[in-house]
Amino acid sequence: MRGPERTIAIDLDVHRAIERARLGLGESQNDILRRLLLLGRKRRSGVAPGGDGGAPRRAGGPRGRGLWAVEIAGRRIPAANLKAAWRVLLRELAASQPRFLDELAAESGRGRRFVARSPAALYPRSPHLALRHAEPLIEGWFVDGNVSADQVARRARIAARLCGLHYGSDVRILDNLREL
């Protein structure tokens, strides 16, 4: 059981960092901070990152399978699941390449955009899907959250190419230390 809620003052940079770590629209800011701040404690206790130590998963929470990570220029960033790894990759590339998201927004597959400025713009042929599958990426950008491992692998290669990077050497998404 959680204790009483408290209000804390945070600056804009901290707020942006919390929002960048968001895994889904239903995740509260408290849930994000709890996940981020308690991650180190779970690792030390032997629970895999993104795991829950056998506790029942909350309905609507992120699904975790395997040990996911993103590698960029030799730096490994852990992720809770496939979709989180995809978002981590996009955020990291966007932070290093200012025009990256605009260029990626021009790419699409099977009637869906990879990223867009609005949820409806992700699904131009089926805007009703925006309510179920659009997820915030960073401020002012949304990502398609209804993706398979094959789709993420293809999209990650496109994202790397747009940044002038080579997928497999400069950039990789890993599942249990195997390249996606």
Q: How does pLDDT run across 132-149, given as a tens digit for each residue?
A: 899 999 999 999 998 999
pLDDT, residue 29, reads 84
Residue 109 has pLDDT above 70, yes or no: yes
Overall average pLDDT of the 119-134 stretch: 88
- Cβ-contact 171, 165 below 8 angstroms: yes
The token duo for 135 is 């997820």
pLDDT, residue 114, reads 93
Domain spans of the chain, in order of start: 12-179
pLDDT, residue 47, reads 42
pTM: 0.64
CB environment 63-91: b (16+ within 10 A), e (fewer): ebebbbbbbbeeeeebbbbbbbbbbbbbb
